A and B are shown apart, each in its own frame.
Chain A
Amino acid sequence: MGRTPSSARDPLVALLLGKLNMDLFEELRDKFPLLVSAAQAPPQVSHNQVSIALRGPDVRPLAEHLQSAYQSRLVAVFAEDRVAAESVFYNYYVFEQPAEPCYLILQAPIAADQPRFPSLAAGLPAVNWQEREIQDWFGLEATGHPNPRRVALHDNWPDVHPLRKSFPLRQVLPPFEGERHVYRPTLGEGVFQIPVGPVHAGIIEPGHFNFAVAGEPILYLQLRMFYTHKGTEKLFEDMPIHRAVFLAESISGDSAFSHGTAFCQAIENASDTEVPQRARVMRTILLELERVCNHIGDIGAISTDVGFMVANAHASRLREMVVRLNEGLTGSRWLRGMVCVGGVRRTWSSAQRDLLRDTVNQVEREFDSLVALVQSSDSTRDRLEQTGILLPETAKVLGIVGVAGRASGVDLDVRRDHPYAAYERYPFQVPVYRAGDVLHRMLVRVDEVKQSFAILRAAADDLPEGPHCAPLQPVPPGRCALSAVEGWRGEILHWVRTADNNRLERCKIKDPSVNNWAAIVEAVQGNIVADFPVINKSFNLSYSGTDR
């Protein structure tokens, strides 16, 4: 495993990990001969990932074994249509092991004439929506799924499977006719239903929230998303890779740089492109600026939702300073158009580097006073503490990631666990709390912003000379690669399979919001309706990233 960054740091660890992975493969091969072919050669590890081809669609025994023996986490489940080339669909199961930078990807074939696969959702609620997405997009039935209703195709979609290759991109669909989504009924004396959305007051994206309340306390919440589905994954299959970078940037507007970087990294992994050090450091800086900017905005927004407007005014001012720095460094306030396959589009002058240093120092100073302001307000603390608690056990079961996970004891951070860009050069702490309330989701943000300042300063001082972009090369066809980025919201995954003519055959995007909507449903239970907005804001999930 010579290429894993932590192994570069510590040869002993490298040896251990290498052994673990090889042992793992051999063990799986011996234990599950029906699934892992005995004839199969040990898989090659590259770019922090190893892929094992399975012989059948039933991964349940493997998943259970990986979970119990290695405490593996199922990171993502997604499908691919290879019917034209191989007469099969593939389901991919991405696992990660604690303290192991290498992702384990299981590729499970599903025969085209038997379009069904056994569901894992009963034992692993984290994949509930993801398996249903596969059902909706590919028409592969998740057998044994406890709740197999539609999730991704909302009520105005007819019965189609848009991610199948046989579905033409520019098809005009007939109106939906059939049974509409049936919500769990709201019954009981004095129990009422409050439907909210999908169109909301204020400028936010569409999503339907169906509350059942007994007076003020919320009994349960039912969600419907995917109203802003734009067919992004399908669109990726229709454009040249270098234009697709812009599409990746618009998956979720507040994470433009993270999604862009995740996409570019996937292409770089697939084509074995070596990104120059300068570009890696610049990417690290911009990723951290995106984090700082959004976290500060969220701290202000949480304050607004409890009516503490002064803190929001202060936070907005700070965020504006960061956003202007973004503009000074990239020409875009939201860091668009900067990342490209092989590095970044433009390099920085020494004046831009000074601007970075000065702004970071100034914002850091003022950020401390913002934190002091919020923390000195008893009435704010009273609103945030014990509100919207997501228990660590629940968070773990639901596979919650990112800020929300770290506030509830889920110690995950892609920057540390699967280093990319230049993160291994800069030491930083990953804040983890177990209280899981709104206050601690805010504290995670506060701590992360402070860590980000340290990373930013170190990176600004350390910016190596050299090229800012690898020379452009054609991307070889038929390569698969995964890439992960810790966006400010959490773990972003992109998985690609390249095709001829510098195009993609499939691009899977996973935004952390997909996992985390389930957390909101849990966190609001027993809280009062009036506290829902602040609980929702403390997660601040992306509708666009969920719906794609």
Chain B
Amino acid sequence: MIAVFLTAVVQLLLLLTVAPLVGGLIKTLKARLQIRRGPGILQPYRDLLKLFRKGMVLPGTASWVFTATPYVVFAATAIAGLMIPMISAKAPLGLFGGVLAVVYLLGLGRFFLALAGLDTGSSFGGLGSSREMTIAALAEPAMMLAVFTVAIGANSTSLSEIAKVATSTTWHFLAPAQMLAFAAMFLVLIAETGRIPVDNPATHLELTMIHEAMILEYSGPYLGLIEWGASIKQLLLMTLLINAFLPFGLQSKWSLGGVLVSLAYLLLKLLVLAVSIVLVETTNAKMRFFRVPDLLAMAFTLAALGLVSTFLF
């Protein structure tokens, strides 16, 4: 029991501390590709610190939904983060069907964000919420199918189980099913984390925003919580992609040595994944909003093909 508690604490700390770093890394890499120096890799920490020290402005029209949302988003994301294998094949938490719970905990956070966007009555919030839900409704099935593909291979929807099978020798990353599901998950990752070509996290144009438009009315610590939650979600999805499809280096035992080895591999793989995200963001323009469904339909098709091919090969 104590061991489980300890693993949960370790993984939680990792999530909270590494998540802003990944965001900073992506920003810095992007800046370098644009011949800019960039704000530095530690900037997200400084931003969070600044936000938590600031006062807040609450819209007069906001209800309890607006105040509850930052906590719900943060908590749901953090709990989901404890349910994925990060530095050990065995995740600290494994509740309610594993991966399904992860997907729907993220869904809960998004649901509240969308409500909060509508809650203030600002037209931008409504615009953002409607866009976010449009994209979510398309990204979620693609993500579920991709996850099912690996779940079938492992005969379980528990992520710990999937990771355990994945680290064993019977796993074939180059199997068509795995490749297709991986591609689908990568597209979902781009959409879910609000990256170009789906959303532009760096824009100041309120009319083009998706995620940023929903949280436009937030300020101070609430905004800090939401931003932090968003970066945890990004880390979580990246880790899920890495450890479900490329599990090499992931140790199956909780031990100091095992954790350190896993952590080193994780950081290395995160770096590679961050670079590929940056390359996608740099070489593409943002899509016209009504083309985003095409992209997600592609993700869905890839995932569906992956699922079918698990039975063929």
Beyond A202-B204, A530-B207, A533-B205, is A310–B291 a contact (Cβ under 8 Å)?
no
Tell me if B157 is interfacial: C-beta within 8 Å of chain A: no
| Contact of B287 with A383 in the complex, beta carbons under 8 Å | yes
| Contact of A307 with B286 in the complex, beta carbons under 8 Å | yes
A379 CA to B200 CA in the complex, in Å? Answer: 14
| Contact of B205 with A201 in the complex, beta carbons under 8 Å | yes
Most buried by A among B197, B204, B286, B289: B286
Most buried by A among B126, B202, B207, B291: B207
Tell me if B288 is interfacial: C-beta within 8 Å of chain A: yes
| Contact of B285 with A531 in the complex, beta carbons under 8 Å | no
Residue from B130, B202, B207, B281 within 8 A of A215 (CB atoms) = B130
Tell me if A313 is interfacial: C-beta within 8 Å of chain B: yes
Task: Note all chain B residues with C-beta closer than 8 A to A194.
Answer: 123-124, 127, 207
Tell me if A195 is interfacial: C-beta within 8 Å of chain B: yes
Tell me if A532 is interfacial: C-beta within 8 Å of chain B: yes
A205 CA to B128 CA in the complex, in Å? Answer: 24
Task: Note all chain B residues with C-beta closer than 8 A to A396.
Answer: none
Task: Note all chain A residues with C-beta closer than 8 A to B283.
Answer: 310, 377
| Contact of B288 with A310 in the complex, beta carbons under 8 Å | no
Task: Note all chain B residues with C-beta closer than 8 A to A531.
Answer: 288-289
Tell me if B170 is interfacial: C-beta within 8 Å of chain A: no
Tell me if A49 is interfacial: C-beta within 8 Å of chain B: no
A312 CA to B30 CA in the complex, in Å? Answer: 13
B207-235 contacts to A, CB under 8 A, are 207-208
Task: Note all chain B residues with C-beta closer than 8 A to A202.
Answer: 204-205
Stretch at the interface among B31-39, B41-49, B52-60, B63-71: B31-39
| Contact of A310 with B290 in the complex, beta carbons under 8 Å | no
A308 CA to B35 CA in the complex, in Å? Answer: 14
Tell me if B169 is interfacial: C-beta within 8 Å of chain A: no
Task: Note all chain B residues with C-beta closer than 8 A to A382.
Answer: 285, 287-288, 291
| Contact of A533 with B207 in the complex, beta carbons under 8 Å | yes
- Which single residue of chain A is at the shortest CB-CB distance from B123? A194
| Contact of A530 with B208 in the complex, beta carbons under 8 Å | yes
Residue from B204, B286, B290, B291 within 8 A of A216 (CB atoms) = B290
| Contact of A309 with B282 in the complex, beta carbons under 8 Å | yes
Beyond A201-B204, A309-B30, A532-B207, is A383–B288 a contact (Cβ under 8 Å)?
yes
Tell me if B196 is interfacial: C-beta within 8 Å of chain A: yes
Tell me if B203 is interfacial: C-beta within 8 Å of chain A: yes
| Contact of A379 with B287 in the complex, beta carbons under 8 Å | yes
Q: How far is the CB of A191 from chain B (nearest CB, A)?
A: 12
Q: How far is the CB of A30 from chain B (nearest CB, A)?
A: 56
Task: Note all chain A residues with C-beta closer than 8 A to B61.
Answer: none
| Contact of A383 with B208 in the complex, beta carbons under 8 Å | no
| Contact of A377 with B285 in the complex, beta carbons under 8 Å | yes
B225-257 contacts to A, CB under 8 A, are none
- Which single residue of chain B is at the shortest CB-CB distance from A306? B285
A312 CA to B34 CA in the complex, in Å? Answer: 8
A192 CA to B286 CA in the complex, in Å? Answer: 25
Q: How large is the interface on B (under 10, 10 to 19, 20 to 34, 35 or more residues)?
A: 20 to 34
A379 CA to B294 CA in the complex, in Å? Answer: 13
Most buried by A among B127, B205, B284: B205
A310 CA to B124 CA in the complex, in Å? Answer: 28
What sequence of 0s and 1s flags, for each residue 517-547 of chain A, a beta carbon within 8 Å of any chain B beta carbon?
0000000000011111100000000000000
What sequence of 0s and 1s flags, for each residue 493-537 of chain A, a beta carbon within 8 Å of any chain B beta carbon?
000000000000000000000000000000000001111110000
| Contact of A307 with B203 in the complex, beta carbons under 8 Å | yes
- Which single residue of chain A is at the shortest CB-CB distance from B35? A313
Residue from A303, A305, A310, A528 within 8 A of B282 (CB atoms) = A310
Tell me if A273 is interfacial: C-beta within 8 Å of chain B: no
Q: How large is the interface on A (under 10, 10 to 19, 20 to 34, 35 or more residues)?
A: 20 to 34
- Which single residue of chain A is at the shortest CB-CB distance from B205? A533
| Contact of B196 with A307 in the complex, beta carbons under 8 Å | yes
Q: How far is the CB of A186 from chain B (nearest CB, A)?
A: 11
| Contact of B200 with A307 in the complex, beta carbons under 8 Å | yes
Task: Note all chain A residues with C-beta closer than 8 A to B33.
Answer: 310
| Contact of A317 with B286 in the complex, beta carbons under 8 Å | no
| Contact of B123 with A195 in the complex, beta carbons under 8 Å | yes
- Which single residue of chain A is at the shortest CB-CB distance from B216? A201
Residue from A192, A201, A377 within 8 A of B123 (CB atoms) = A192
| Contact of B285 with A303 in the complex, beta carbons under 8 Å | yes
| Contact of B34 with A310 in the complex, beta carbons under 8 Å | yes
A309 CA to B34 CA in the complex, in Å? Answer: 7
B257-313 contacts to A, CB under 8 A, are 281-291
- Which single residue of chain A is at the shortest CB-CB distance from B287? A379
Most buried by A among B204, B208, B283, B287: B208
Task: Note all chain A residues with C-beta closer than 8 A to B130.
Answer: 215
| Contact of A383 with B289 in the complex, beta carbons under 8 Å | no
| Contact of B290 with A528 in the complex, beta carbons under 8 Å | yes
Tell me if A46 is interfacial: C-beta within 8 Å of chain B: no
Task: Note all chain B residues with C-beta closer than 8 A to A379.
Answer: 197, 284-287
Tell me if A160 is interfacial: C-beta within 8 Å of chain B: no
| Contact of A305 with B205 in the complex, beta carbons under 8 Å | yes
Task: Note all chain B residues with C-beta closer than 8 A to A201.
Answer: 204-206
Q: How far is the CB of B43 from chain A (nearest CB, A)?
A: 17
Most buried by B among A201, A387, A531: A201
A435 CA to B281 CA in the complex, in Å? Answer: 29
Task: Note all chain A residues with C-beta closer than 8 A to B284.
Answer: 307-308, 377, 379
Tell me if A380 is interfacial: C-beta within 8 Å of chain B: yes
Tell me if A196 is interfacial: C-beta within 8 Å of chain B: yes
Most buried by B among A193, A307, A309, A528: A307
A310 CA to B33 CA in the complex, in Å? Answer: 7
Q: How far is the CB of A202 from chain B (nearest CB, A)?
A: 4
A272 CA to B240 CA in the complex, in Å? Answer: 78
Task: Note all chain B residues with C-beta closer than 8 A to A383.
Answer: 285-288
Q: How far is the CB of B31 from chain A (nearest CB, A)?
A: 9
Task: Note all chain B residues with C-beta closer than 8 A to A306.
Answer: 285-286
What sequence of 0s and 1s flags, for each residue 307-328 of chain A, a beta carbon within 8 Å of any chain B beta carbon?
1111011000100000000000
Most buried by B among A192, A309, A387: A309
A358-401 contacts to B, CB under 8 A, are 377, 379-380, 382-383, 387
| Contact of A196 with B285 in the complex, beta carbons under 8 Å | no
- Which single residue of chain A is at the shortest CB-CB distance from B286? A307
Q: How far is the CB of A546 from chain B (nearest CB, A)?
A: 21
Residue from B203, B206, B281, B285 within 8 A of A380 (CB atoms) = B285
- Which single residue of chain B is at the shortest CB-CB distance from A532? B207
Task: Note all chain B residues with C-beta closer than 8 A to A216.
Answer: 289-290
Task: Note all chain B residues with C-beta closer than 8 A to A196.
Answer: 206-207
Instruction: Show 19 residue pairs from A and B whose CB-CB distance is below 8 angstroms, ordered by the A residue.
Output: A192-B123, A193-B123, A194-B123, A194-B127, A202-B204, A216-B289, A303-B285, A306-B286, A307-B196, A308-B284, A309-B30, A317-B35, A377-B283, A377-B285, A382-B291, A529-B207, A530-B208, A530-B289, A533-B208
Question: What are the 5 closest A-B residue pairs judged by CB atoms, nearest first?
Answer: A307-B286, A313-B34, A308-B285, A379-B285, A380-B285
Name 9 extra pairs, CB < 8 A, besides A377-B284, A529-B207.
A194-B123, A216-B289, A308-B285, A309-B202, A309-B281, A382-B285, A387-B288, A530-B131, A530-B208
